[in-house]
Structure 1
Amino acid sequence: MTDLLSPLSRLLESHQGAEVVLALSGGLDSRLLLHVLARYRELHPATSVKAVHIHHGLSENADEWAQLCGKWCREYQISFCVEYARLELSSKQSLEAQAREARYSLLQEYLGEGDILLTAQHGDDQLETLLLALKRGSGPAGLAAMGEISSFAGGFLVRPLLGFTRAELEAEAQRCQLEWVEDESNQNTDFDRNFLRHEVIPKLSQRWPHIQASATRSAALCYEQEQLLQSLIKEKYQGLVGDDLGLECEALLSCEPALQNQLLRMWIKEQGLNMPSQNQLRMIVDEVVNARPDANPKLAMKGFSVHRFQGQLYIAPVRNLKPSWSQALVVGQEIDLPENLGSVGLYQDSEVGLKLRAPLAQEKVSIAFAPVGEGLVLHPEGRSGSRKLKKLFQEYQIPPWKRSLTPILMYNQEVVAVGDLFVCKAFSGQDCSFYWKQ
């Protein structure tokens, strides 16, 4: 009999009061973990437990798997939810990577602050992860593979089965007379993990029977070294990064290249973005940090771009904002802006925002983004003359990449106010307030 309850109890004991969310695919590993979690809940009845199944829609059996997962959860009296992933079959990204990203994106929606996501990866999965990291040329962070517990979406990702082989788990599932689903795609060796699982690892295990345990130990040592490294550079990092997440270029250049790379990795990771390659890190230094003083450098990367502004490095997420976007606005109404740019409202008797006159009956109120470009000439209230919008943005120290994302209040075709910066002189007044909540 394999004791699976002890590692689960050990990992959860310091998180009393947290909701536990199990990622339940229905395969052997998560099916067995559901069984163990039900036993844990019997011993700790106050623990809130939920299982979530991600329906990828890639198999003709997917509906049946979701139904089976629901059936098992009802037997254990565990709350159960199904989420449907949307995958692009024509995407350049592999189905493996798409499915993983979609899975974790959906699962994180179930986590509150401090909650636990349980996943059922085991020791064989750890060896696969380590080999894939070697294939990619990863450093210590990648070779650390999967930790038993790590931060995730404001809570924690916990993997209680890493200390067990798949063979041990299968024997325990059979002893408990459990049924589980077999995903036919797991036999397709076109997928990297399946190739390792069926073609490579059996030969390695035949030659070196304890390679799985050795790989787990190596990953744990890499994780320990990575944690030590991160703690040592954290203080240096905090001295370089401001409240607006700008990274000081001059201070970065004073560091050795290896430390520069570590600081850039930490900076990007802290903002929840995909980790760039070693070459991309050097491009940030060479093409952005070291660009001419009068340049406006930009380096596009997957999902974001890196900019330099006033001696600081900044990250800007990729936004697909249409220049022609416009939406009507009513006094007393608040509307959400596209691309997570916040919301805006036009209010009477409000203490916040820019003060201006109320629209006349014949004036249509709308919100736009740079409706006629930065060549527009405006006269801000309290200023002696008019200036081009581009010059005004510079005076207000608005970074170039944020200028086209600044909402503009319009009465008919006239610019009334620009973001939270200024009201145009022709619309001075105290009747209303325009407020941009970012």
Structure 2
Amino acid sequence: MNLNTFFKEKNLPLTGKTLVVAASGGPDSMALVDLLVQLKKKRAFRLIVAHFDHQLRADSQEETALLKAYCQKQGLLLKNGSWDRDLQPETGIEAAARTVRYQFLIKVMKEVKGDYLLTAHHGNDLLENILLKFIRSGNPEEMNSLQAVGQMQGYPLLRPLLGYAKSDLLAYDQEHHLRFIEDSTNFEDETLRNRLRHYLVPLLKKENSHILNNAHRFSQETQLLVQLSQKELAHLPAPKLVLNYFYRWNKADLAALSETQRLYYWQQFIWKKWQRRVGPELNGFSLLAYQNYYYLWQHNLPQLESRQSIKPGQIFTFRQQQFILTLNQQENGERVGDFWSNESNFKVGSLPTGTKLLLKNGQHVKAKKMFAAAGIPLFLRPFCLTVFNAEEAAIFVEKAYQDQTWQADNKHYYLYLLKKV
């Protein structure tokens, strides 16, 4: 086993770089650390070992002691972290443990100014991961989530052992007389991953001894197909953010896509924007076509602010955005609209359903007709900022209406959305 080939094939420079390797003290990570130590004898780079004790097992301190002894012998810097038992949740412990471990690794990368973060994932892990994702979602992007070269919060994440089997690493440990501690929970059947490892993977290997190679090739080719599809979608016009929470696309911009391709596009957009993997139902999101547009938004939006009193020049908040009503045109802000009024005290908020608006001829019209004429769908209407006069009558509705009556002492008001500083 030789890691030099990995760095050459991936075109990853080593000279003068700082490598941080995540190590648990188990057989896989001990093999990776030792392989890097051997490579370090030939290549000039800095190697740092990062160990995180989850404190979930009684013998976890033995792993720390083992790594400390190894690092002292090899002259390596060891960075230790641990998870306070008081902060451990009663449910979802596996996901929470992964989160705090990654947070620790990123912290170490920042402290030592690391260039590469390495983990000891191997071919068996890759096969298990593909099977897990196939069972849970069938999402291609999730199936190839274990890549030889990836990213974690902006740092290069390397997995140089994906081309090797677990048995290869155990053989390396034995050949080089490396001590390790096997995680006893790996032999339990509590988790789906362990059940796949203990029962399904052996059956697959029995059917085809090259199943790990097939999994590796499947992962690489899936990644290539995903990259090609994303490249095609990147040419599409970006959506417009409407009323702070809603993304809008012109139907004509997506007309060349089939229904299946559009669904894939929505899923990709949700992943990039919210870091959420969703199925065909787009769980947690709503998608609606209205007139010439598609609208997409996340569920459980923040509650809109109550109606509030304002004066000209006063900054106020609506739908978690800051606005200002002035008698002068502003440079620092996006102009939302303008209206004329002879008053100086106003209220702002959301327009109640069923409100009637005053027309120039003195007649009233239902607000829904003005919204429909402006192309504003029903679900957007509560989010349109409305200005009310002292009599609680609506005199301005964002994107839909402004008071059409005129008086000689009217003043010209401008409404601005303030830019974020």
TM-score for both structures, normalised by structure 2? 0.67
Kindly provide the amino acid, as one letter, of the partner of residue 165 in structure 2: T
Q: Match of 1:119?
A: 119
**Residue of 260, 264, 271 corresponding to 1:262:** 264
SS for the counterpart of 1:217 is: helix
For 2:68 and 2:184, the matched residues in 1 are separated by 20
Instruction: Evaluate the alpha carbon distance shift between residue 72 and residue 268 of structure 1 in structure 2; reply closer, same or farther with a 3 A threshold.
Output: farther
Q: Match of 1:335?
A: none
For 2:203 and 2:296, the matched residues in 1 are separated by 50
Trace 1:4-403 onto structure 2 (pairs within 5 A): 4-8=3-7, 10-11=9-10, 13-14=12-13, 17-45=16-44, 47-85=45-83, 88-91=88-91, 93=92, 95-111=93-109, 115-236=115-236, 239-240=238-239, 247-251=247-251, 254=255, 255-271=257-273, 273-280=275-282, 284=285, 287-290=286-289, 299-300=298-299, 374-381=306-313, 382-383=326-327, 385-390=344-349
RMSD between aligned residues: 3.7
Tell me how far 1:17 sits from its aligned partner.
4.9
Tell me how far 1:124 sits from its aligned partner.
0.9
Q: Match of 2:375?
A: none
Q: Is the 8 A contact 2:89 2:96 kept in 1?
A: no
**Alignment coverage as a number of residue pairs:** 325
Gaps of at least 5 residues in structure 2 are 314-325, 328-342, 352-380, 386-417
Instruction: Evaluate the alpha carbon distance shift between residue 292 and residue 235 of structure 1 in structure 2; reply closer, same or farther with a 3 A threshold.
Output: closer
TM-score for both structures, normalised by structure 1? 0.64
Tell me how far 1:25 sits from its aligned partner.
1.0
Answer with 1 or 2: which has the greater Rg: 2
Tell me how far 1:269 sits from its aligned partner.
2.8
Instruction: Evaluate the alpha carbon distance shift between residue 203 and residue 288 of structure 1 in structure 2; reply closer, same or farther with a 3 A threshold.
Output: closer
SS for the counterpart of 2:121 is: coil
Instruction: Evaluate the alpha carbon distance shift between residue 436 and residue 222 of structure 1 in structure 2; reply closer, same or farther with a 3 A threshold.
Output: closer
Q: Is the 8 A contact 2:19 2:116 kept in 1?
A: yes
Instruction: Evaluate the alpha carbon distance shift between residue 253 and residue 217 of structure 1 in structure 2; reply closer, same or farther with a 3 A threshold.
Output: closer
For 2:100 and 2:11, the matched residues in 1 are separated by 26
Tell me how far 1:21 sits from its aligned partner.
1.5
- For residues 74-109 of structure 1, the C-alpha deviation after alignment (integer angstroms, 9 at most, x for no partner) is 222222212223664422x3x333322332233223
For 1:126 and 1:43, the matched residues in 2 are separated by 29
Which 10-residue stretch deviates more, 203-212 or 183-192?
Answer: 203-212
Q: Is the 8 A contact 2:15 2:43 kept in 1?
A: no
SS for the counterpart of 1:96 is: helix
Q: Is the 8 A contact 1:11 1:158 kept in 2?
A: no
Q: Is the 8 A contact 1:5 1:36 kept in 2?
A: no
For 1:267 and 1:19, the matched residues in 2 are separated by 34
Q: Is the 8 A contact 1:23 1:117 kept in 2?
A: yes
Tell me how far 1:247 sits from its aligned partner.
3.8
Q: Is the 8 A contact 2:22 2:49 kept in 1?
A: yes
Kindly provide the amino acid, as one letter, of the partner of residue 27 in structure 2: L
Instruction: Evaluate the alpha carbon distance shift between residue 169 and residue 175 of structure 1 in structure 2; reply closer, same or farther with a 3 A threshold.
Output: same
Tell me how far 1:171 sits from its aligned partner.
0.7
Q: Is the 8 A contact 1:374 1:390 kept in 2?
A: yes
Tell me how far 1:131 sits from its aligned partner.
1.0
For 2:297 and 2:163, the matched residues in 1 are separated by 45
Identity %: 23
Q: Is the 8 A contact 2:20 2:114 kept in 1?
A: no
Tell me how far 1:179 sits from its aligned partner.
0.5
